Amino acid sequence: MSQTSVLEQLKSMTTLVADTGDVNAISQFMPIDATTNPSLLLKAAGMEKYQGLIQNCIATAKKNATDQDARIKAAADAFAIQVGAEILAIIPGRVSTEVDARLSFQTDAMVQEARRISAAYLERGFDQKRILIKIAATWEGIMAAKILEAEGIGCNLTLMFNFAQALACANAKVTLVSPFVGRIFDWYTQKTGETYTPDNDPGVLSVKRIYEYYRKFDINTIVMGASFRNIGQIKALSGCDYLTISPALLQQLDSEAAPLVRTLSKDKAKAQVMDEVFLDEASFRWQMNEDAMATEKLAEGIRLFNQDLLKLYAVLSEKF
């Protein structure tokens, strides 16, 4: 009897999320959920199959917006929702749609944009429970998520690199957090020159710490490991609530047939010895200040998302 693929074994332990805007890849691997961001939308905008959809978004924007800048933003916003809607037509679960990265330090502005995104999906007939609003895990972003969660709008707090971010998200009762394994790994690899294995990978250990703390103290927030560089990192987090994985790594997992051992579970977390941690805004900001990796990677992540959003605007501008 042939061995079941690592991908199929992983699906029995963890909810898999496709880290792509490509509906063909999503159809191939059939994850439960999917995530998008400006970088993925920029890639989608270059695909031939999305050109008709883009033209429809542009036509609508021309009717409803008054000046060119407003039209481009309206078209980009509509494109993000339309890609999300196409994904929701395929998957059984939820899709994450990101707020404008330029709003990452403006709580009220993020709340307003999130409400608009949620309303746009509702207008297309999608249940609010199938939508997650993706927000950078700044203090202001976490406070925006706290407001939105109280209104029934679920949030995915992204660009998570520090335990303080996870604690603040737990206090805000956010639906889901996305700790970034690969970007933490990249930073430490570059700074130290060391070669890390899944057992001592700083990104893997960061997700494990968050998962174990949440499960130890019965925090309902979902932990979704993200930003993987290799399948070793993924396998080291088997049993994590969710893992969001690129199509290339999903393909590698599907091609491998070795046995997969579950590494994370609620029972194991409950057996850990740890104390609950108090966190307020001052503590959050100090812990981020003391963590050069988290401070640098959070700022870099926001910049990169914004750069790709502006590139998407440029692509759409050429099509008007």
Q: Which sequence positions are flagged as catalytic?
A: 134
Write the Ramachandran bin of 109: left for phi over 0, alpha for psi from -120 to 50, otherwise beta: alpha
CA distance 129 to 127: 5
The identity of residue 252, as a single letter, is Q
**How many helices (H) does the chain have, and how many strands (E)?**
15, 8
> Which residues touch 14 (CB under 8 Å, ≥6 apart)?
237, 238, 239, 240, 241, 242, 243
C-alpha pair distances (Å), 203 with each of 103, 122, 179, 230, 290: 26, 36, 8, 12, 17
Nearest Cα neighbor of 35 from 148, 110, 140, 133 is 133
Cβ atoms 264, 216 nearer than 8 A = no
Angle between helices 38-45 and 68-88 (to 10 degrees): 90
Cβ atoms 152, 134 nearer than 8 A = no
CA distance 112 to 84: 19
The identity of residue 231, as a single letter, is I
Return the number of other C-beta atoms located less than 10 Å from residue 191's C-beta. 11
Its sign, for the CA torsion 119, 23, 104, 244, is positive
Cβ atoms 194, 173 nearer than 8 A = no
CA distance 87 to 85: 5
